[in-house]
Amino acid sequence: MNNWLKTTVLMAAILALFMLVGGLIGGKNGMLLALLFGGGMNLFAYWNSDKMVLRMYNAHEVDEQTAPELYGMVRELAGRAGLPMPRVYVIEEDQPNAFATGRNPEHAAVAATTGIMRMLSYRELRGVMAHELAHVQNRDILISTISATMAGAISALANFAMFFGGRDESGRPANPLAGILVAILAPLAASLIQMAISRAREFGADAGGARISGDPMSLASALAKIEAYASGIPMYAAEAHPETAQMMIINPLTGGGLDNLFRTHPATADRVARLHAMASGQIEY
């Protein structure tokens, strides 16, 4: 399934969830309003979701003067990948992590935390940035960014249904239990949609990052190190906006339970094993 088709399926599925919750809140009229609202949100997310996510993380843009090593590294890797130079951002968070965003390669951005810049060697950080540029090259960034913003909107609408109740087709108050169930199940459904798309995407970006950098072992080493540190260092912006967790190179959420049950990333050990196989020539990249 190509990425344009994936994006269309994602938007349609999220729109259906909007209509379901809208129907609970206001019957047919609520469903129609939710359809209009969801369609407007899809259009808004297409053009603005990258700015929203960067704002959520209080990311600040850097250049060759303010972050010469990171900026120069991204420029070198973008050249190797045949990509336009993306905007480069830094996030003031101790947890080592990174992500890419934007609607296409011409409007892309990559972001790295101050924690990842401190904890990784130059070679390891280069492997991470190559992975993020592979997401840009594969056009994964539109899918991940839209799914993050739309999943957040679904959660907000579902909470509205729970707290303010809904109406049936005759205008009578709906069963309050139904509102509670929707408030629980709608965000889970949005998470499942994200999961269905994002796990395979990470393996693809690992392979693409290995090709761009020419150094699979640098990314393997980086992933192992990030996994070791990230689980013990909270990332406050991600905890406040868990719908964005699937954008990161490693799951940034520190909680257990449902966070692990509905994790959007493949097991890091599996990713590292594949990269080792690439480096030894057992798998092509």
pLDDT given at position 129: 98
Question: Across 27-36, 166-175, 273-282, which has the greatest mean pLDDT?
Answer: 273-282
Count structural domains, the chain. 1
* pLDDT at position 178 over 70: no
Q: Which of 69, 76, 124, 132 is catalytic?
A: 132
Confidence label for 231 from pLDDT (cuts 50, 70 and 90): confident
Confidence label for 158 from pLDDT (cuts 50, 70 and 90): low
Question: Which domain range does residue 162 map to?
Answer: 3-279
Question: Across 22-36, 46-60, 118-132, which has the greatest mean pLDDT?
Answer: 118-132
In this predicted model, which residue has the larger pLDDT, 40 or 96?
96
Helix axes 216-230, 122-137, angle to 10 degrees: 100
In this predicted model, which residue has the larger pLDDT, 189 or 282?
282
Burial of 167 (0-12, 13-18, 19+ CB in 10 A): middle
Specify if 147 maps to a domain.
yes
0.85 cut: is pTM over it?
Answer: no
Instruction: Walk across the sheet containing 108-113 and list its strands.
Output: 60-62, 87-91, 108-113, 98-102
Amino acid letter, 86: P
Confidence label for 186 from pLDDT (cuts 50, 70 and 90): low
Specify if 36 maps to a domain.
yes
* pLDDT at position 55 over 70: yes
Specify if 71 maps to a domain.
yes
SS3 74: helix
Confidence label for 258 from pLDDT (cuts 50, 70 and 90): very low
* pLDDT at position 155 over 70: no
What gap in Å lies between CA 105 and CA 129, rounded to an integer?
15
pLDDT given at position 230: 87
Specify if 284 maps to a domain.
no
In this predicted model, which residue has the larger pLDDT, 176 or 12?
12
Contact (Cβ atoms closer than 8 angstroms) between residue 271 and residue 206: yes
pLDDT given at position 24: 67
Instruction: Clarify whether 132 is annotated catalytic.
Output: yes
Specify if 285 maps to a domain.
no
* Average pLDDT of the residues in 156-169: 57
